[in-house]
Amino acid sequence: MWTKFLDQFLAQFLRHGTLDVVLPDGQTRSYGDGSQPRMAVHLHDADLPRKLVLRPDLALGEAYMDGRLTVEGDDIATLLALLVTNRSAQPALWWRKPLDKAADWLRVLNQINPVGRSLRNVSHHYDLTPELYALFLDRDRQYSCAYFAQPDDTLEAAQAQKKALIAAKLCLEPGMRVLDIGCGWGGLALTLAREHQVKVLGITLSKEQLAIAQARARAEGLAKRVEFRLADYRTLQGQFDRIVSVGMFEHVGLPHYRTYFGQVRKLLTENGVALLHTIGNAGPPMATGAWIRKYIFPGGYIPSMSECLRAIEAEDLWTTDVEVWRLHYAETLSHWRERFEANIDKARALHDDRFCRMWRYYLAGSEMTFRHAKQCVFQFQLARRLDAVPLTRDYLMGAGRAPMPMRRGA
């Protein structure tokens, strides 16, 4: 029965490209229009058709991790590109709509992140073996979208350009006090202190990140100008001339947006400026995928622009600039995925094969979502005063702004 439902599902779903499916009983069925790309998958679990019909996102990722679903040539990236492209090109199938609606109703509950839960969620992802991240990130350990001014930019160059553009939007002056919410391994905070002579407080909920960031500050002789602290943004006191947050807002949780922006306003000086850099959903609000919520980012959520702006407006902040980065994160993830694959033996030595398959699925799936769906990056420049930043964008010229003709590989 479930094989029949899966057959009907794939026949309706696959409109572009071709997918050959070898079922658990050995039968092969083809779906799509016969065009490229053509992919083949093998289902090795008799219960997998049922799981794929009921919870396709979760079931596909788990089956690939466990080896109960294998891909010809292990080319999971091309398979996910095929699936994401087809999903983005059509509305949800009628029988999936009640399930998707239920997930949407639950999306707020899944994002309730009090301080204790936030600590556990951050630890799940960011307190993994520190050596893992060194296998695929740039030398500065920037674990967020880079800015590619040219197609052939190296990852290191693109990440440096990202930091330069953020610094320009912050309108920094020597001696300013800067708060970095979600400072990661400290790269941005150290760069701002080193290149712009500001004082930075960086906060994180990851003990592993904190230890590395503090060691880097000492090694670079910047410990007097950069302080790193294990702290939740909700607990901070004092005021800062500038606030920056890169890649952290995705962990705040929709029920806490007003708290977040209210705290930003409270912590900013009267003439202060804040820069929020977050993954964004260019379409209407939608629930986080079950697989990535369970295995990669528990409590995580990608906001739509309307959800961000509604909370910003409610907390009486000026939105002085908004920029949408398209495809830059797809290119960043392509670099990460290439580096991870080049170091796969080292990754297996740190973790097991199942973990490596999970991480490969995460990197490939994320890239294809940015490349073929409505996922992007938002940068919001915020202030308490309407004249806190220049009235034209001329001051941003030269900060890695050359246009990039983005490639559209799989």
pLDDT digits (tens, 9 = 90+) for 276-335: 999 999 999 988 899 999 999 888 899 999 999 999 999 999 999 999 999 999 999 999
Please tell me the total count of domains within the chain.
2
pLDDT at 124 over 70: no
Residues 148, 82, single domain; the answer is no
Assigned domain for 166 exists: yes
Mean pLDDT of 203-213: 95
Q: How many CB atoms lie within 10 A of CB 120?
A: 12
Helices (H), ranges, 186-327: 187-196, 207-219, 257-267, 290-295, 305-314
Average the pLDDT over 163-169 and give the result: 97
Question: Who contacts 109 (Cβ-Cβ below 8 Å, separation ≥6)?
Answer: none
**Confidence class of residue 230 from pLDDT cuts 50, 70 and 90?**
very high
Q: Please give the Cα distance from 276 to 345 (Å, whole number).
A: 36
Q: At 128, is the pLDDT very low, low, confident or very high (cuts 50, 70, 90)? A: confident
Rounded to an integer, the average pLDDT of 14-27 is 95
Q: Which CATH number do you get for residue 238?
A: 3.40.50.150
- 340 occurs within a structural domain: yes
User: Among 64-68, 85-89, 401-405, which is the least confidently predicted range?
Assistant: 401-405
Give the number of other Cβ atoms within 10 Å of residue 290's Cβ: 17
**Residue 409 lies inside a defined structural domain of this protein:** no
Q: List all residues 6 or more positions away from 337 whose beta carbon is below 8 Å from its beta carbon.
A: 77, 136, 360, 363, 364, 367
Domain boundary among 57, 74, 106: 106
Same domain, 33 and 155: no
Q: Give the residue numbers spanning the domain of 18.
A: 2-106
- What CATH number has the domain bearing residue 62? 3.30.1050
Estimate the crossing angle of helix 353-372 against helix 76-88, to 10 degrees.
40
Confidence band (pLDDT; 50, 70, 90) for 398? confident
Q: Does the residue 332 lie in any domain?
A: yes
Identify whether residues 92 and 153 lie together within a single domain: no
Asked if 178 and 192 touch (Cβ cutoff 8 Å), the reply is yes
Angle, helix 187-196 to helix 207-219, in steps of 10 degrees: 30
Whether 127 has a pLDDT exceeding 70, the answer reads no
Q: Are 99 and 180 in a shared domain?
A: no
State the pLDDT at residue 191. 98
Angle between helices 56-66 and 353-372 (to 10 degrees): 140
Whether 32 and 180 map to the same domain: the answer is no
User: CA 65, CA 152: separation in Å to the nearest integer?
Assistant: 32
Q: Examine the pLDDT at 379 and tell me if it is beyond 80.
A: yes
Candidates 253, 273, 277, 276; CA nearest to 265 is 273
pLDDT band at 108 (very low <50, low <70, confident <90, very high): low
Is residue 87, in this structure, part of any structural domain at all?
Answer: yes
DSSP letters along 333-347, please?
A: HHHHHHHHHHTHHHH
Higher pLDDT residue, 381 or 299? 381
Q: Are residues 146 and 39 in the same domain?
A: no
| Torsion angle of the four alpha carbons 337, 291, 127, 345, in this order, in degrees rounded to the nearest 10 | -40
Query: Does residue 164 share a domain with residue 100?
Result: no
Whether 359 is in a domain gets the answer yes
**Same domain, yes or no: 115 and 101:** no
Identity of residue 72: E
The whole-number pLDDT of residue 100 equals 62
288 and 390 fall within a common domain? yes
pLDDT at 406: 47
> Among the three residues 106, 129, 164, which one is the final residue of a domain in this structure?
106
Query: Which residue is associated with the tokens 């202190």?
Result: 193
Q: What is the pLDDT of residue 155?
A: 98
The structure tokens listed for 231 are: 């702290």
User: What is the radius of gyration, based on Cα positions, of the chain?
Assistant: 22
Instruction: Assess whether 117 and 89 both reside in one domain.
Output: no
Residue range 33-37: average pLDDT?
94
Task: Pick the last residue of a domain from 86, 106, 126.
Answer: 106
pLDDT at 404 (0 to 100): 46
Residue 102 lies in a domain: yes
Q: What are phi and psi of 228, to 5 degrees?
A: -115, 140
> Is 371:408 a contact under the CB 8 Å cutoff?
yes
**Whole-model pTM?**
0.91
Whether residue 333 is found in the same domain as residue 193:
yes
On whether residue 402 sits in a domain, the answer given is no
Q: Are residues 40 and 133 in the same domain?
A: no
- Does residue 107 carry a pLDDT above 80? no
pLDDT tier, 410 (very low <50, low <70, confident <90, very high otherwise) = very low
The rounded distance, in Å, linking the Cα atoms of 139 and 359 is 20
Three-class SS state of 275: strand
